[in-house]
Amino acid sequence: MDFVNQLQRKFIDYSSSLHREGIVDDQFTQLRKLEDENSPHFVMEVASLFFEDCEKLINNMAIALEQKQGVDFKQIDECIHQLKGSSSSIGAMRVKNACIAFRSFSDAQNREGCLRCLQQLSHEYSLLKNKLQTLFVVSVASRYLYVCLLMVGRENEHAEPFSDVLVFQLEQQIVAAGGSIPRVH
Residues forming contacts to another protein in the complex (CB under 8 A) are: 27, 30-31, 33-34, 36, 38-39, 42, 45-46, 49-50, 53, 81-82, 84-86, 88-91
Nearest distance from C-beta of residue 36 to another protein, angstroms: 7
CA distances from 127 to 21, 111, 170, 178 (A): 11, 24, 30, 39
Are the C-beta atoms of residues 120 and 90 closer than 8 Å to each other? no
- If the CB atoms of residues 42 and 136 are measured against another protein, the closer one turns out to be 42
Nearest distance from C-beta of residue 145 to another protein, angstroms: 27
- If the CB atoms of residues 8 and 87 are measured against another protein, the closer one turns out to be 87
Nearest distance from C-beta of residue 5 to another protein, angstroms: 29
- Distance CA(154)–CA(95), nearest Å, equals 42
Backbone angles phi, psi at 20, to 5 degrees: -60, -40
A 10 A CB-CB count for 144 gives 15
- If the CB atoms of residues 56 and 183 are measured against another protein, the closer one turns out to be 56
- If the CB atoms of residues 53 and 155 are measured against another protein, the closer one turns out to be 53
For the stretch 171-178, contacts whose Cβ atoms lie closer than 8 Å and that sit 24 or more positions apart, written own/partner, are 171/147, 174/147
Nearest distance from C-beta of residue 154 to another protein, angstroms: 33
